[in-house]
């Protein structure tokens, strides 16, 4: 198996998935402050350069 990095499926990194899920749950529960927290954490996570999804903030 000499696969180099495949660009076939964009795989969002785990923190992104968790934050997106937490934000969706917070929205569903009308917990706006928690939803905002998730957005801030997501932004900070991406700006920190540790995001594996490779999406510039
Ligand atoms: Zn990420």
pTM for this predicted structure? 0.69
- How many Å lie between the centroid of ligand 1 and the Cα of residue 54? 7
Categorize the per-residue pLDDT at 50 as very low, low, confident or very high, splitting at 50, 70 and 90: confident
| Mean pLDDT value across residues 30-55 | 90
Residue that is written with structure tokens 């969002």 in the block: 12
Tokens of 56: 């510039």
- How many Å lie between the centroid of ligand 1 and the Cα of residue 27? 20
- How many Å lie between the centroid of ligand 1 and the Cα of residue 23? 14
For 7, 31, 38, 40, 50, the CA distances from 54, given in Å and listed in that order, are 11, 29, 18, 17, 9
Residue that is written with structure tokens 């928690």 in the block: 34
Q: What is the pLDDT of residues 11-35, one digit of tens each?
A: 668 999 999 999 999 999 999 999 9
């Amino acid at each position: 198996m000499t696969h180099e990095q495949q660009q076939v499926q964009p795989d969002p990194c785990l923190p992104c998935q968790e934050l997106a899920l937490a934000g969706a749950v917070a929205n569903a529960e009308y917990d706006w402050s928690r939803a905002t927290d998730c957005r801030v954490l997501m932004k900070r996570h991406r700006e920190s350069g540790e995001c594996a999804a490779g999406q510039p903030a």
